[in-house]
Structure formats: structure tokens, C-alpha cells
Structure 1
Amino acid sequence: MSAGATTEPTAHDTSTPPVAGHGPRTGFWALALGSVGVVYGDIGTSPLYALKESLHAASGGHAPTREMVFGVVSLILWALILIVTLKYVLIVMRADNDGEGGTPSLVALAQRALGRSGGFVIVLGMIGVSLFYGDAIITPAISVLSAIEGLKLVTPALDPYVLPLSIAIIVGLFAVQNHGTAKVAFVFGPLTALWFIVMALGGLGHLLDDLSIVAAFNPTHGIAFLLSHGTAGLLALGAVFLAVTGAEALYADMGHFGRQPIRAAWFGLVLPALALNYLGQGAMLLAHPERIENPFFLLYPSWALLPMVLLATVATVIASQAVITGTFSITQQAMQLGLLPRMRVLRTSETEKGQIYIPRVNWWLLTAVVFLAVLFKSSSSLAAAYGIAVTGDMVITACLVFVVAWRFWRWPAAVAALVLAPFLLVEFVFLSANALKILHGGWVPLTIGAALVTAMWTWRRGSALIARHIHEHRVPLADFTHMAETGSVLRAPGTAVFLTGSPDDAPGALMHNVKHNHVLHERNLILTVVTEEVPKVSGAGRVTVERLSDAFTGVTVRFGFTELPDLPRALANAGMDEDGLSYFLSRRVLVASPTTGMPVWQDRLYIAMALAATDASRFFRIPAERAVEIGARIDI
């Protein structure tokens, strides 16, 4: 038998830190500039490898033909127009959950629209979050490697140092996460804006190499390329998708900067810079196809190579930082939705939004990123693993947006399908193209995703079994309070707080306290933590109080799915004496059982996750000296 421990509250009592909005004085253009660094860092580093890898896939490593260059550049431009501009910037960003975006936020919005019939939405959310993790692991590895590989153009003698230097940068990046990024975040926007300007200038400087490249805006070039190149065309299409990796960040970071500043940055700087750079690379390759080895860095004169490598490294570090920060946020939201166990969350800034740090996630990510860098050794090898996670995540987003458009926006189902079906079709084509690379690296995000979906499904299922066990052995709170108040139980001075996942049932800690200690406090708060399907809960709706009897009071504390739970503060703000409260929690010892609804292997996985979870007192910011835990055994 395996045994572990978990504490009340149960499945739905996790919560997340606030992603506080910018202050009211933050100007529109300041927000737009900030979004350039945080939102567009990932997609802004795609020109380092997207066109190169697409043409390598099309030509088999040989010099590309004119038809290939026109076709691939056309596909990249239209991917940016259709997927990023039309789908994300103009449609998906309308699906804001009280100003917040991202897969968990979209799941909460869809669940609110569907009610109890929305169970499949949670499954889609699990898959989407799992694929996001796959993307988050690959992004730092491929971005940093692609930037440092530019050193080989400065001098081939530096080739042996590319991988060690990349790993050193990656390790250094993760090592400073506990300090937060508040002190350097203000430079992210200007540095990334400089990166986009330099990219635009590099592409513009080579347009005259062959100005006919502007014809790539005609989509027939991309279609003709796909129709005439068979499997090679599909392989190239899979690599073309590298140009839009990071598009999910437009939606995920909407709560940080707002819809309009993100849109302004896209149309005013990011899209023109990306288009000019890809066109410039294409024009240069039409005139000099032998430069396919690294067309991005070869846009610049030899004297500028080293500065460009340094600037590219800074850009990839910023892009990686945005992904890491996003992973912390997504993890917190997944915990709030009951998809993951509680983990320790630290605030690294009391004033900057999104400034949180999850130690366990940070070191897991670092281990996985370094492992991938060592395993694949180059950005070209990693490129095969990249696209499938992003395309899968985008398909999930399109499905969830359809639900929101149909049931929340009240669009007719036919209209919602007509609007979103073209994007789904395009993304399914990209997904099929990336599926061809499963054996060449695509298995990595799929394996990560499968493992995470299994873990999340196990956590939800195990938590539901425990909730059912508690309900089956419950004592109605009304009956218990009557027996306790009319019996000969000693009264202790002070106020006791008993956390529970079900406000209608007597908490286990309360029953055990009376049964074994034969004592009842003068005042008893039966406290339930509720996760709302909104990002934040206003002050007036945070705490509700219901007097049950002379000795018992029911208290419900509500948090949004982007809020960091602090029970003592919430109760103090509601007028309760914070220093006079003692908290009682149930600590459950879990034992695997073959007869309780899950296979034993899944029982053991759940128990292992429960053992690793942060205990409720620490998670809810309850002072250790005022927390009392009472144990109970449960078979699962």
C-alpha cells in the first residue's frame, strides 16, 4: 500500500495570484510599448529560424529554387495575416473574461456559458494547458540556440562553444527567477522594439536584391508551391508554422496590457517589421540562394554580426522570460480550476502585475529545457519538435472560442461555425504537416502533453472521489451543531475556524475535535473557499457571513482565478479579529485501494501528487502558529 496526506479544502479550493492591471495613469502608448516586450517577444524571434527551416524542409538541404522562395515567403506572410491578425488580434481577443485572456480564462468563460453540460470544456482545457507546457519547454531552448548559433558566422572556431554558452544563458535565466523581473521589465519593451526596428531595417536593406519578392503577397504562390511539392511541401508547411509561434501570447497577456494597446503594437510595429524581414530574407535568397545556411544574420554586414548576435541573444532571453512568466501564471490558473495540486507561490513584487514565482515549476522547466538543448544540440533539430505543440494549442483555442461565440456571445451556431471553420481548417492542415515530424522530434511535446493530461485527469478524478467519500460519510452541519450545542461538551474561549469543501456538512476537523478532545470553542466559523469563474472578486462580494446558531457562523470567502488567496487578510477586511482566530484543518492520510473507482496505479499517482502539494495552511497564508491539523484516513 502507498500512503500520503492531503488537507482540506478539496479540489476547488486552490487559487491564483492577482494579475493586477496597470495603474490608471499608465498611458496607452506606454502599454503598447510594454506589450512589444512581453507579448511579442516569442513571435519576434521566429525570423531567426522560421524561413531557414521551411526552405531546408522544402529543398532537402540544397539551395532553394525561386519557386520555393516565393512559395514559402507567401505561406509565412499569409500565416501571419490569417492566424495572427484575423484570428487572434481581431476575433479571439474579443473573448475576454473580465479583461483576462489565456486558455484557463477561456475555459472558465466557456464553462460559465455551458453550465453543468460543459464537462468536455475541462478536457479541452487540460489538453490546451498541457500543450502550452510543451511549447514553454521548447521556446527557451530553440530561441537561445538560434541566437547563439550566429557566432558561427563571426568565426567557425566558436562552433564548439555554441551549446555550452546556450546552456549557461538558460541556467542563468532560470536562476534569477526568484528575484522577479520588476526591476528590468521596464526595459523589455524598448529593447524588443529596437529588435523589431533592426529586423525591419535588415529586411528593407535587401528588398532591392530582388524586388519581385513583394509578389509573395499573392497567396497563389503559396498554394502552387504546396500543390507541386507533395510531401516536401507539407514538411515545409510544418516549418512555416514556426513563424506564428507566440501568437497565443496576444490572448494570454490581454489582461496585462489591454486589447487595444496590443492591437496597436501589432499593426503599428510588429507586423510591418516581421513582413519586411521575411521579404528581405526572401529577396536576398533569390539573388544569393547559397546564403540559405543562415539567411537572418546574413542580412547584415560582417561588421554588424557580433552586435546582432548580442541583440538577438537579448531578444531571445526576453522572449524566454515572457514564456516562463506565462507558465507561472498558467500553472496558477490551472490550480484554481482544480487541474493541478497546490504549489507554493511567491510574490516577487507587490506593485508589478504578473510578478510571481513558483519554485517547483521553475526548476522543472529548467531541467526540461537543458535536457532538450543537450538532446537536440541545435535549433534546426529542435524545430521539428516545436510546431505540433503550438498548432494543437491553437486548435483547442478555436474550439473553445466557438463555444463562447455560440453560447456566450449568442451568435447562431451556423454563424460561429462559418467564422471559425476556415481557421480550424488552416490549423488542421498545419497540424497534419507537423504530424509528419513526430518521429523527428514532434514526440517531445506530445509525450509531455500526454503525461500532464494524465496527471491533471488523475488529480481531478481523485479529488472527486475524496469529495464523494466525504459526502457519503457526512454529518449534516445543522444536525451536528444541534448535538454539539445541546450536549455536555466543554467550551473553550476564542474563535475557531474550520475549513471545509462543503458548507452543508460538518468539517472533519470539527467532528474529530469534539470527538477526541471533547471541546467546542465559544465561536466557530465554518469557512468555505469558493473559486469563481471570474479573474477577480470585488471587495463587497469577497466574504459573506451567515449566522447558523449562537456558536456557529457560516463564512464563504470567494477568490477569482487570478487571485492569490490570503484567508487571514480576507477575514480581517470583513471585520473579524485576525489575531483571535485559530484555524483547524483536516489532514488526510490516503491509502491506495483497488475497489474505490480508480486503478491502483492512478491511486498511487494521486497520492504522490497529494504528498507533493503545498499544505493548505501555507497556501492560504495561515500563520503556522495558529493552524491545527487533525488527521483522518481515506481509501481511494
Structure 2
Amino acid sequence: MEFQSSPRSSSRHLKDSWQHTLLLSFQSLGVVFGRLSIAPLFAFGTIGAGDIDSEERIHQLFSFVFWTLTIIPLLKYALIVLRADNDGEGGTFALYSLLCRHAKVGLLPNDKSTNEVMQYDEETPSKTKEDSRATRYIEKHKSSHYVILFLALIGSCMTICDGVLTPALSVLTATSGLGRSFKDISQHFPSSERARAEKVFTRYVPVSIACAVLICLFTLQHYGSHKIGFIFAPIVFIWLLFITGLGLYNIFYYDLQIIYAISPVYISKFMKSVDIRSWRLLGRSEAMFADLGHFSKRSIKVTFLCLIYPALVLCYAGQAAFISKNLGASMDIVHLSESVPNRLLRHIFRVLSLFVSAVGSQATITATFSIINQCLALGCFPRVKVIHTSDKIRGQVYIPDVNWLLMLLTVAITIGFHNISLIGNATGLAIICAMLVSTCLMSLVIALYWEKRLLLSACFLVFFGSIELMYLSACLFNFHKGAWYLVVLLVIFMTIMIAWHYGTLKKYEFDVENKVSSDWLTDLGPGLGVTRVQGIGFIYTDIVTGIPAFFSHFITNLPAFHQVLIFVSFKSSPVPHISPCQRYLIGRVGHKEYKIYRCIVRYGYCDRTRNTDDFEEHIIRSIGEFISREGNDLEALTSPEGKMIVVGSQTTDGNALIPLDGDMSSIGPESLEKNENWRSSLLDPSGSASAPIRRKKVRFTLPPNSPLRLPVREELQELVDARESGTAYFLGQSHLSVRFGANFMKRFLIMIYDVLDKNCREPPVALNIPHAALVEVGMVYVI
């Protein structure tokens, strides 16, 4: 019976949808748009007062600012780039993932057997349209794949560098405004101490306050984007109202004619007579796309179009009007605080700017978390712990290790440079490079994913690329004035990411080349001295066919394995999320009597994976469903490697295993007594018994009245009994070694990978595994 919603229910759903959008729009103020909101603090401040010599010049400068704000954040990002989201996720790697999915340009570890096994879903429609000439050309030339990956890594590294530089710049800018307030206090000191006091108040005090604010800011990150958005959004909202009112006041009080400066005639005059020192970037909007996973597209567009954009235009217009009527004044007219008309309001403004500068840094920090989470899942970043801070809103993550590293680098930059101009030069170069990379990738998305004409893609690239190249050339003139530090950070991050990707790729290729056929394992029997012990053995491997080399190495030296073996492989897909009902692929290894299964766990680059608190339960239930569904088929799925079928519905309709209430079971040496003869030395080499670990263990039972055939019920019962007997987890511990005679670059990358592998977190599948149940098998991989 088909359900049709009534008009009342439809309107209610629409109302709830808009309520959700408005809620996310409010939160995005404190997370996404904080950086754009604080741009007026240093947009005109980067230009010396001596560079503005006439009222006509300031009108041209405002026109330049207006059109930059309109072309980059509004036209490019809000109206075009946000449409190229990857199932709700944004950022450089989201664009790269779109290209990997639709143009086959990915270089992620994979092999032909993996592609064959992953073709599991019979309902997936076949590709009916022929690939375009551009798609075929890019897929054919391997060098283009490396270029696209290199662009994606460059853009990601620039976003990470921006997460280091922007918090230091924004907070130090605000505290410098407080320093000007403290400067008045130094006038009360004796003349002999006045210069020293002025230096302390204008240099050391702002830096100290900035460091304290930055430490507090990074300490709040563990609350997640949801809570931080509610905490920071009111501050940004008050700030936007303040600068909007300030802009309107200055426009009407000083120069109402400034409104006419939005004419393109003024920017054309500005570009004809532009000075290199005047080229600064306003459009700090890359985080608006990178933070898309934290908020919906509609919420970001609504917030930007209805609040952020008009507030910034009015603020810049008011500041330009103030400067145009105060040329030649002794005060520092280019700073926004000087345009505040009242001294009391000026002090309130400086305190408010300090708070909003901390909020403004939030966009770059959350964007850094999102980008690193994507790089991590796609094998381009060392293993770090990722915490999902919201169960309701996907994509909101917090990475503790990265958070504290960013804090240390940001505080070090603030103390080391303590100069807004130097940090601003490096920040501007980082933002420009990230925007230029997104323009290049977006042009490829237009041609390859949207399948538009190459002329349209070329127009997008030429139009936005030429503007951003102009900004880039201006930033490069300041390379020796702080921008060089960005190159240092870029080299460090790029070396880490390239080395990790290279080592992961070579390690996977070694596993594929040295895997053992499934027949080798199934042919082993008691006649060869191999015994099978009670319990379940989980073998984690990167390959999806055959037996991994480390497990064959283990069996060769210790000839015993469990009565039920489950080979588990995690495979990332270039999509943000995989539905739970499509996550697990189950198949057999060999004949039914061997009780050997293979499970492929698919996940997107924003999914939570490998949480053993309930992961084992999901695997057992999926295998039980596989056995039940297989028993209902007339044809047994017993091909040489086993046909993989999708299992993920986790049904409890009585056809498979039924989970009972979880109880607290001890997982320690005593729970593994039946396996003590063959692995007691592996569990505790010192011979001392470790304390049992208390954890929740879900038990299963067979459905009492289900019409299952006897062989199916027997196999399910054996699976349940094996689960009750105990579980062991096998992990391969690789040690990469370079062949004799390899070139320097290969040795260097493998050395960096080896250092990272030893110092980063353990493989995620082992994070929550009890020590007594974990078996690590070491092998040397000769690359």
C-alpha cells in the first residue's frame, strides 16, 4: 500500500527543513564565517596610510575590495563551487574524490582483483553514456593522474598551513588594537621610562594576550563544531551588527558618494595605476567550501547572502568613506578601530574584536580537521585519532593530535614573528594558492563530472584563474617578508603526505605480489600437522583475495588456526559516506566445511570505522545473515574465492542470529584457556597474568521457529559456539626495507614513512582490542 503524504504533513516537513536550515545557518556564523567576518580588521590595515594620496584613490580601492568580495566568495564559491559538493562534503579532496569516481584518476592502493570483487551490487546501473574525449585522454595518460593528485595534496597542505597562520594573524591583529589602548597608559610614566613602557605595551603585552587567547581557543575544540557554533555564533552576530551600524554611520556622516564607487569604472582605473604594495587579498573564503561537511549548502548560502555579504560591503564602504575624509590626519586612519566615533565605543570595539578574532580562527581550524580526515581515509596522511563530535550531523570531527600540533605551531609563529605584516604575507599566499588549486580542480569537475563543454571549463579556469594569478603575483613580491615561512610549512607537510602515500602504496603492492592462494590454506590438514582450535580468528588484511603473506608466515611457524576464520579488509571509497545497509560484503574462502569467511568493510572518507566496541558484533551478525541467505539460494555461492554479496541490513526478523542482552564478560588470559597450548607465549611473553579487561560482549542465539534447513542451523550454531569460545585478532606488523641500490629519493621516502609509522598511532583496528586477544605478526617488506 503506497503512502501519500497530506499537504499538512508536507508543509510541516518543509517547516522543519527550514527550521533546521536556520539552525545550521546560525551555527555557521561561529564556525564557517568567522574568518570572513574579521577581514575588515586587517583588509585596509595591510595598506600603508602613505599609499593613499587622494579621495579618488580610496574610491578606487573600495571598488577593488567590493569586486573582489563579489567575484571570489559570492560568485565563485557560494554560487558555483558549492554546487560541486561530494554528497554534502566540500574541500579540495572532495573535488579530487569526484574526479576519482567519475574519471578514474585515483592512485589509491588498489589492484585488479579488488575491482573485480567490489563489483558486487547487481542493482548498480551500468554506465550508459560514453566517456568524453577529455575523460578518455586523462584516464589514458598516467602522468595526468599524478598531476591531479599533486594538486589535491598542494591544496590540502595550503589549507593546513592556513589553519596554522590565520589564528595567529587574526588574534594578534585584535590584541594589537588593545596595545594601542594600553599605549595611552604609557603617557603617565616618567619621560625616562616612557619609551620602555610604550614598547612593553605595544609589543610584549599584545603577544602575551594573543598566546593566552590562542591556547584557550584550541582547548575548546574538543567540544565539536555543534557546541562551538552555539558558543561563538552570538559573538559573530553581535560583531556583524556592530560593523554594519558602524559602516552605515560612516557612509552617511563622511561620504555618501562612496556608494558610486561600486561601478566597474573605478576598479578599471585602479588596475591601470595599481602599485604592487597595494595588492592584498580580501577573499578569504576557501574554508567556506572546506567546512561544507559541517553544515548544509543551503545554510551556508543563506547565511552568506543574507547577512555576511551585505554586512561586509557596508563595513568596507563606511571605512573607505572615513579614510577619504581624513587623509593627512596624524592618526592611523587605515585601522578600523579609528573609524569608531566614540572613545567608549572604541574600547568596546577593541574588546569585541579580540573575541571575534578568536572566533574567526575557528573556520580554518575546523577546515583543517575536515581536510585531514579526508586525507587520512584516502591513504595520504599518517594515522591519527579522529573523534566524531556529533551523532546527528555527519562530518563534524575533532582530531586531538592535529589540534595540539596546530596550537604549538600557531603560538610559536605568534611569538617568533610578533608582526602582523609578516604573518599576513604568509597567510595571503596560503589562501591564494589554495584558491588557485580549487579553481584548477573545479574546471576539471566541470568538464569530467558535470560533462559540460570544454569551452565552459576553460572559461571558468581563465576567468577566475587570471584573477587569482594576479593576486598570487602580488603575494610573491612579499616572499622575503614572511611568505617564505609558508614554503617551509608546505615542504614539511608535503613530505609527510607524499611519503605516507608512497609507503602505503608500496606496502600494498608487496602484499598483492606475495599473497598465497586460498587453496594453500584449505589444503592444510591434520595430516600435515596443522590443527584447528576452538574460537574465532579475525585476520585484518589490505588485500581482498588470497591469503596475506603475514598469516601464511604465521601458519608456517605455528601450525594452528581457529575453527572459524574471518578475513577482514577495510576498503575506502571516494565518497563521503557508505550506507550501513551497503557497508559489508561477505563471501566464503573455500568450501563450506572449512568455515572460512571473507568480509570487506566499505567506508567513505568521512565515516567512522574500525570501532571494535561493536564492530565484532556487526561482523558476526553479517556472517549469520550471509549464511541464512545463502541457505535459501538453490545455487551455493562456492566459487574459488567466493562470490561477495551485500550484507548490512542487520535484520532481526528471525532468519539469522538474534542478539541477546549484552553482559560484561572478561576478556583476558582466563577467557582463552582452550587456546593456551599454542599462543600462551604470544599473549604475555613475561609469563605474568594480566588483569582481565571488562567490556560489553553481545551474545547470540538461533531463532527458535525459523524455517532454516538443518545444515544452515548447524553452521550458525558452530558460529555461535566459536564466538563463545573466544576471539583472537591477527594483525600484520610490517617493517619496510629498501632494496640495495635503490635511488636516494626512494630511500628518503621510505625512511620518512618508517619514522611516521613507528611514531603515529597504532592501526585503528587495534586501538580497542584487548591486549590478551591481540596477535601481531612481524614481517620485513623489501621494497
Distance 1:400 1:357 in 2: 26
CA RMSD of aligned residues (A): 2.3
Structure 1 pair 184–331 and aligned structure 2 pair: CA distance change class (3 A): closer
Partner of 1:217: 262
User: Are 1:277 and 2:315 an aligned pair?
Assistant: yes
User: Are 1:259 and 2:405 an aligned pair?
Assistant: no
Distance 2:770 2:52 in 1: 66
In the TM superposition, residue 339 of structure 1 has moved relative to its aligned partner by 0.8
Partner of 2:236: 192
Does the 8 A contact of 1:590 with 1:607 survive in 2? yes
In the TM superposition, residue 620 of structure 1 has moved relative to its aligned partner by 6.2
Identify the match of residue 152 of structure 1 among 179, 189, 208: 179
Distance 1:533 1:335 in 2: 12
In the TM superposition, residue 341 of structure 1 has moved relative to its aligned partner by 1.4
Matches of residues 593-608 of structure 1 in structure 2 within 5 Å? Answer: 593-596=739-742, 598-608=745-755
Structure 1 pair 219–487 and aligned structure 2 pair: CA distance change class (3 A): farther
User: Are 1:591 and 2:705 an aligned pair?
Assistant: no
Distance 1:596 1:554 in 2: 36
Matches of residues 555-594 of structure 1 in structure 2 within 5 Å? Answer: 555-568=599-612, 569-574=614-619, 575=621, 580=723, 581-594=727-740
Identify the match of residue 167 of structure 1 among 183, 190, 211: 211
In the TM superposition, residue 193 of structure 1 has moved relative to its aligned partner by 1.5
Does the 8 A contact of 1:338 with 1:460 survive in 2? yes
Q: Deviations over 1:416-472 (max 9, x none)?
A: 212342011111111111111111111122221122122211211122222222333
Partner of 2:579: 538
Does the 8 A contact of 1:35 with 1:262 survive in 2? yes
Structure 1 pair 67–132 and aligned structure 2 pair: CA distance change class (3 A): same
In the TM superposition, residue 305 of structure 1 has moved relative to its aligned partner by 1.9
Partner of 1:432: 473
Distance 1:423 1:619 in 2: 46
Matches of residues 411-560 of structure 1 in structure 2 within 5 Å? Answer: 411-483=452-524, 487-549=528-590, 550-560=594-604
Does the 8 A contact of 1:71 with 1:216 survive in 2? yes
Partner of 1:632: 779
Structure 1 pair 424–95 and aligned structure 2 pair: CA distance change class (3 A): same
In the TM superposition, residue 220 of structure 1 has moved relative to its aligned partner by 2.5
User: Are 1:288 and 2:435 an aligned pair?
Assistant: no
Partner of 2:42: 49
Partner of 1:331: 372
Does the 8 A contact of 1:565 with 1:619 survive in 2? no
Amino acid at match of 1:324: I
Distance 2:536 2:17 in 1: 40
In the TM superposition, residue 484 of structure 1 has moved relative to its aligned partner by 5.8
Identify the match of residue 613 of structure 1 among 754, 757, 760: 760
2:777 match: secondary structure: strand
Distance 1:183 1:131 in 2: 27
TM-score of the aligned structures, taking structure 2 as reference length = 0.73
Q: Deviations over 1:144-165 (max 9, x none)?
A: 0111111134231442411111
Distance 1:503 1:312 in 2: 55
Distance 1:586 1:189 in 2: 47
Structure 1 pair 484–227 and aligned structure 2 pair: CA distance change class (3 A): farther
Does the 8 A contact of 1:617 with 1:627 survive in 2? no
- Higher-Rg member (1/2): 2
In the TM superposition, residue 225 of structure 1 has moved relative to its aligned partner by 2.2
Partner of 1:13: none
Distance 1:471 1:548 in 2: 17
TM-score of the aligned structures, taking structure 1 as reference length = 0.90
Identify the match of residue 207 of structure 1 among 251, 256, 272: 251
Partner of 2:283: 244
Distance 1:485 1:182 in 2: 58
Does the 8 A contact of 1:497 with 1:524 survive in 2? yes
1:526 match: secondary structure: strand
In the TM superposition, residue 349 of structure 1 has moved relative to its aligned partner by 5.2
Does the 8 A contact of 2:248 with 2:315 survive in 1? yes
Distance 1:95 1:313 in 2: 35
In the TM superposition, residue 67 of structure 1 has moved relative to its aligned partner by 3.3
Distance 1:419 1:348 in 2: 37
Does the 8 A contact of 2:387 with 2:399 survive in 1? yes
Q: Deviations over 1:588-624 (max 9, x none)?
A: 1233555356433322211111112211155664444
Structure 1 pair 142–557 and aligned structure 2 pair: CA distance change class (3 A): same
Matches of residues 394-405 of structure 1 in structure 2 within 5 Å? Answer: 394-405=435-446
In the TM superposition, residue 181 of structure 1 has moved relative to its aligned partner by 5.7
Amino acid at match of 2:85: D
1:471 match: secondary structure: helix
Does the 8 A contact of 1:52 with 1:295 survive in 2? yes
Amino acid at match of 1:225: F
Q: Deviations over 1:241-284 (max 9, x none)?
A: 1x211x11221222322112211111111001000110011000
Amino acid at match of 2:149: I
In the TM superposition, residue 357 of structure 1 has moved relative to its aligned partner by 3.1
Identity of aligned residues (%): 27
1:50 match: secondary structure: coil
In the TM superposition, residue 560 of structure 1 has moved relative to its aligned partner by 0.8
In the TM superposition, residue 323 of structure 1 has moved relative to its aligned partner by 2.0
Partner of 1:92: 81
Q: Deviations over 1:351-386 (max 9, x none)?
A: 565554323212221121112112221323321221
2:736 match: secondary structure: strand
Structure 1 pair 74–621 and aligned structure 2 pair: CA distance change class (3 A): farther
Amino acid at match of 1:236: S
Which sections of structure 2, spanning at least 5 residues, go unmatched?
1-15, 106-138, 140-144, 186-200, 623-658, 660-696, 699-722
Q: For this pair of structures, how many residues does the alignment match?
A: 603
Distance 1:565 1:594 in 2: 38
In the TM superposition, residue 206 of structure 1 has moved relative to its aligned partner by 0.4
In the TM superposition, residue 70 of structure 1 has moved relative to its aligned partner by 1.6
Does the 8 A contact of 2:64 with 2:270 survive in 1? no
Amino acid at match of 2:751: R
Distance 1:146 1:67 in 2: 28
Structure 1 pair 539–220 and aligned structure 2 pair: CA distance change class (3 A): same
Does the 8 A contact of 1:533 with 1:561 survive in 2? yes
Does the 8 A contact of 1:131 with 1:393 survive in 2? yes
Distance 2:312 2:164 in 1: 24
Structure 1 pair 222–153 and aligned structure 2 pair: CA distance change class (3 A): same
Structure 1 pair 567–344 and aligned structure 2 pair: CA distance change class (3 A): closer
Distance 1:573 1:66 in 2: 70
Amino acid at match of 2:350: V
Amino acid at match of 1:164: S
Partner of 1:8: none
